[in-house]
Amino acid sequence: MPNVEPHRLALLVTAGLLAGLLLLGLSLQRGWRRAAPGARLAHWPHHALFFAVCAGTLLSLGLGWWAGARAWALLPALALLLTMPRTRPGRADHWQRALVCAAAFALGAWGAW
């Protein structure tokens, strides 16, 4: 990637982490990971990816603000991400909020690009 601005690179990396988080969450929600031996081992990468997505969103917001981009567009995504622990894994409100977070991040990344 020649000459990519730092806030755009942070957005791309965070989007990739978010995609991985959603796919791993989907596999846990659907039970694809529970039947495998050592199924509990799939939960800690999900939590680590969640914290990485939160940090990446905050970093993207900061770098975008510093670069003069419309970084405020990422604030709803960050707010929704920070409310995710209020939901219970395995219940409908957890995956529904995760999808809303992903949509808010996509719209925010488009706005901050």
> What is residue 62's three-state secondary structure?
helix
Tell me what the mean pLDDT of segment 25-35 comes to.
75
Largest pairwise CA distance in the chain: 49
DSSP classification of residue 35: S
Contacts 24+ apart (CB under 8 A), 93-102: 94/29, 95/25, 95/26, 95/29, 98/21, 98/22, 98/25, 99/22, 101/77, 102/18, 102/22
pLDDT digits (tens, 9 = 90+) for 83-104: 999 998 888 899 999 999 999 9
Looking at every residue in the chain, the average pLDDT score rounds to 90
Q: What percent of the chain has pLDDT over 70?
A: 89
